[in-house]
Chain A
Amino acid sequence: MMEKEPLNIIITGVGGQGNVLLSQLVGKVLVRGGFHVTIGETYGASQRGGAVMSHLRVSRQMQYGPLIGEGQADVIVGLEPIETLRVLAQYGNADVTVITNSRPVFPAAVSSGGAKYPTADEIASAMAGLSARSWVVDATDIALELGPPILANVVMMGTLVGSGILPVGAEAFETELRESLPAGRDGSSADRLAMNLEAFRRGMAAVAP
């Protein structure tokens, strides 16, 4: 599909969650599909713990700038619930699709016991109230079943593809995973590929109608 020109995707999370890698993978697949892609990355200083955000602009016709205007997102994918809400409030609109990982990374205000983290219900209802379609996915839990927690980003890539909003299908993403995680001489990288493919498919399934 893709009736929207350009298609504006925002991927957000906390430093160290693999946000940039995820946006790069999605971007690569779309360039291969013949689209113009621009990715603007906001990650500031390279330490972990800060808010991270990637803006992806996808177009058949031309290259767009690296920043999406306020209220102009078509899809928001969040690796962390508070970051999803933060981006939704600034870039969302009544037609937006929003998908978040359920696993919190507590901001200092919460982990020090001074502020409250939203409950699962509060997250889900804020998302539902501010979007056309929304999903909360236990991506980190799925990742931990399969391997390391960082794999949550591939699960979330699966949810983005599964939501059906991208102009390329699952096959192109699986091809990209196969090529970027080639089987090595030892068995370990083959396991890594299988693990990533499984994470991607579990993500797809999590948003299946």
Chain B
Amino acid sequence: MANLATFEEGTRQLLMGNEAIARGALEAGIGFAAAYPGNPSSEIIGSLADVARDAGIYVEWSVNEKVALEAAAAAAFSGVRSLVAMKHNGLNVVLDYLMGLALTGTKAGIVLVTCDDPGALSSTEEEDSRIVAKWANLPLLEPGTFQEEKDMTRWAYELSEEMKSVVLIRGVTRTSHARGDVEIGERLPPARDARFAPSNPVEFTSVPAPFKHMLANRKMERVREIFESSPFNRYEGPVKPDLLIVTSGSGWFYALEAVRALELEKSVGILKLATTWPLPEKLVREHLSRAAEVLVVEEIDPFLEGNLKELVGEDPAGVGPVRFYGKRSGHIPAFGEINPDIVTAALARILGIEYRAVEPDYSQKALALTSPFTHGRIVGFCAGCPHRATFWSIKNALKLDGRDGFVSGDIGCYSMAVGPAGYFQVKTMQAMGSGTGMACGFGKLAEFGFTQPVLTVCGDSTFYHATIPAIISGIYNRADFTLLILDNSATAMTGFQPHPGTGRSATGENTPTVDIAMICRALGVRVEETDPFDLQGTTEKVLDLMRDKGVRVLIVKRECALVRARKEKPAFKMRVDSERCLGESCGCSRLCVRVFQCPALTWDVSQGVAGIDEVLCAGCGVCADICPAGAIIREPAE
């Protein structure tokens, strides 16, 4: 079947927004693509990795986002168009390099795609990446449709080369993790004459910095002129609208539907901006001067809104009086994600229109008929997940130790241990690798009267990404903590991408395995290993390590249950012996379903006994060891 690299020119294909960006980069003739996975951006590089051979390009999962950008810049400096993609957290990681790269510029085109996650649907924070464009003097594109995601990515390479500048593309969850039909264009071949040849000694450096800063400012003036005539900025509506909506990115569709829902096509206009930094000033001023009221529709921060106000402030007389509505006025929320209902409600409120999307009778009836049953679903560990077993052991070890020990953690599937899935065991969670960095601090507080044992967790992919420097710092400074590396042999949270410990590259080739235990042993710390499914053994090892001194490492190794399920049949067939399950009279107070909480464990209310959902059970067998009555039976699977 045809794939992203081999789709025929002129055909229409259903593409995920992230795939449309990837296809745009292929059409531009990229040769090099790199990233560290992070949702909602993972499929950009992931989909390129899947077709790398057909496309004749190089694709890698780098150890972290900063290295990905550095590697991609090296390709661009050598004349090979390159792409790097990340989620907003990743942009934080690359900033140190990006600021230098922004002053340096590039030779071949380089595009950095950053995907923000309004509402933090798959993130631990929400932030607006666009501010970086203004900060670093970089052109910023915000595609609003699937076709634009492809076409603007392609165009971004021309812009990048013309301006010798990195170009930023900002997506959001609703443009990245959505699909739409896209018309496929022609694909250019990648350059095959790569060569690093600076034309002067400082061409590929950021110095002299003030001079390069001056050049960067000048570049932005030229970019602004190019943006003035970009076909991706367009206006839809009457010549002189009563109210002007200015929007970018995902706001375009929402604004369009809001205007239609309220039947305001004749009185409300929409200026859809796709080039949002630097703003095409003439175009924007012209539209602002034709309207007295402006609603700004955008995701996360009032970035566009602030920049529009700046333009008005520079030339109040030229634009004339304008009243702004948006996040600052409270008509559009300044946190969480927006949607068509929010935009319609804002528009109706400004114009004093009564609008109801749903009949009140229907709403009331719906509430009465469904609310007794629509219990929320807590996102938790999968059936058979090694993390559940690990946190069960950690909980028990901390209790047995009795010195009020705790766990600092970071970002990964195991972040869910801040909640009931991991028995509320993880107490701090901010950034990749931050649990270990924090342990370096907690582990040095003894002289201030601190007596609690410090545990910290990181995943295997996080170990490579950001934990190694923290371990070294802890050893160097004689901090006291135990690091548990939860090695499930995958970057599981983001879609099971391979990493340096898996022995497999992004494109499926065999690579050297960078062994976690060997690295830790080479650092000179005590290293133990355990199988998380061995609850007793793991608990004992955690207890023993907690009583030791210095930096200690426990590698908790078991493959991710979802990865394993693709390759192997379940190890055990589980059943509940209803004779042995004492139900409510046991005294365990439904320990298995209430506390252990594997989704495959159920409670039969009529019989008052536990049960196993065979459709969900992964056959890991761990629950047999937590039942005080020994009623959960582990039998070898056929």
Q: Which residue in chain B gives the minimum CB-CB distance to A119?
A: B373
Q: Tell me, yes or no, whether B108 is within 8 Å of chain A by CB.
A: no
Name the contact of A113 in the complex, choosing from B13, B39, B494, B605 (C-beta under 8 A). B605
Q: Does A44 contact B (CB under 8 A)?
A: yes
Most B CB within 10 A of own CB, among A38, A68, A94, A129: A38
CA distance A128 to B512 in the complex (A): 59
Residue in B253, B369, B593, B613 whose CB lies within 8 Å of A66: B253
B13→A38 contact, CB < 8 A: no
B603 adjacent to A24 (CB under 8 Å): no
Q: Which of B145, B177, B373 contacts A82 (CB 8 A)?
A: B373
Residue ID in chain A nearest B597 by CB atoms = A108
Instruction: Evaluate contact between B413 and A130: CB separation under 8 angstroms.
Output: no
Which residues of chain A have C-beta atoms less than 8 A from B420's C-beta? 108
Shortest CB–CB separation between residue B553 and chain A, in angstroms?
26
Cβ-neighbour of B366 out of A31, A88, A115 (below 8 A): A88
Contact assessment for B179 and A38 in the assembled complex, using a CB-CB cutoff below 8 Å: yes
Residues of A close to B339: CB separation below 8 A: 67, 69
* Proximity bits, B489-507, A CB within 8 Å = 1, else 0: 0001111000000000000
- Docked complex Cα distance between A45 and B365 (Å): 32
Given the interface contacts A93-B362, A94-B359, does A67 sit within 8 Å of B254 by beta carbon?
yes
Residues of B within 8 A of A88 (CB): 366, 370
Q: Assess the A149–B341 pair: CB atoms within 8 A.
A: no
A67 CA to B377 CA in the complex, in Å?
21
A85 touches B370 (CB 8 A): yes
CB atoms of B413 and A47 under 8 A apart: yes
B1-45 residues with Cβ-Cβ distance < 8 A to A are 1, 12-14, 39
In the bound complex, do residue A45 and residue B122 qualify as a contact, i.e. CB atoms below 8 Å apart? yes
- Please name all residues of chain A whose beta carbon is closer than 8 Å to the beta carbon of B179 when the two chains form the complex: 24, 27, 37-39, 41
What is the size, in residues, of chain A's interface with B at 8 Å between Cβ atoms?
A: 69
Judged by DSSP, the binding face of B is mixed
Give complex CA distance A14, B357 in Å: 27
Chain A minimum-CB-distance residue to B590: A113
Q: Are A118 and B382 in contact (CB under 8 A)?
A: no
Given A65-B254, A94-B359: A39 in contact with B178 (beta carbons within 8 A): yes
Q: Which of B180, B371, B590, B597 has the most CB of A within 10 A?
A: B180
Q: In whole angstroms, what is the CA distance A205 to B339 when docked? A: 37
Known contacts being A44-B379, A49-B380, A50-B377, is A69 close to B257, with CB within 8 Å?
yes
Tell me how far the C-beta of A26 lies from the nearest C-beta in chain B, rounded to whole angstroms: 10
CA distance A86 to B366 in the complex (A): 9
- Closest residue of chain B to A38 (Cβ to Cβ) is B180
Pick from B252, B340, B376: contact of A107, CB under 8 Å: B376
Judged by a CB distance under 8 angstroms, whether A122 is at the interface is yes
Q: Which residues of A contact B59 (CB under 8 A)?
A: none
* A106-B14 CB under 8 A given contacts A45-B122, A47-B416, A126-B370: no
Given A24-B14, A42-B121, A118-B373 in contact, is the A69-B605 Cβ separation under 8 Å?
no
CA distance A28 to B7 in the complex (A): 14
Please name all residues of chain A whose beta carbon is closer than 8 Å to the beta carbon of B382 when the two chains form the complex.
16, 47-49
Are B341 and A41 neighbours in the complex by a CB distance under 8 Å? no
Measured between alpha carbons, how far is A64 from B257 in the docked complex, in Å?
8
B365/A129 in contact, CB under 8 A: yes
B253 touching A37, Cβ below 8 Å:
no
Q: Report yes or no: B253 in contact with A47, Cβ–Cβ below 8 A.
A: no
B177 partner, pick from A43, A123, A149, beta carbons under 8 A: A43
Q: Closest CB of chain A to B313's CB: distance in Å?
A: 32
A40 close to B (CB within 8 Å): yes
Q: Is B616 an interface position by the 8 A CB rule?
A: yes
**Taking the nearest CB of chain B, how far is it from the CB of A112, in angstroms?**
4
**Which has the most chain A C-beta neighbours within 10 Å: B369, B376, B603, B616?**
B369
* Known pairs A41-B178, A94-B359; A49 contacts B603 (CB<8 A): no
* Contact between B370 and A67, CB atoms less than 8 A apart: no
Chain A proximity of B38: nearest CB distance (Å): 12
| Chain A 60-90 interface 0/1 with B at a Cβ cutoff of 8 Å (1 = within) | 0001111111111000000000100110111
A69 near B616: Cβ-Cβ < 8 Å: no
* A188-B613 Cα distance, complex, nearest whole Å: 27
* CB-defined contacts of B371 to chain A, threshold 8 Å: 89
Which chain A residues lie closer than 8 Å to B373 at the CB level?
82, 85, 116-118, 122-123, 126
Additional 20 contacts, C-beta under 8 A, given A31-B12, A70-B357, A85-B369:
A15-B379, A16-B382, A38-B179, A40-B177, A43-B177, A44-B121, A45-B493, A46-B492, A49-B378, A49-B379, A49-B380, A63-B180, A66-B174, A85-B374, A86-B370, A88-B370, A107-B376, A109-B376, A116-B605, A149-B615
6 contacts between A and B (CB under 8 A): A40-B177, A47-B413, A64-B257, A107-B377, A112-B590, A126-B373
Seen from chain B, the residues whose Cβ lies within 8 Å of a Cβ on chain A are 1, 12-14, 39, 121-122, 145-147, 174-175, 177-181, 250, 252-254, 256-257, 261, 339-341, 344, 357-359, 362, 365-367, 369-383, 413, 416, 420, 492-495, 562, 590, 593-594, 597, 599, 601-603, 605, 613, 615-616
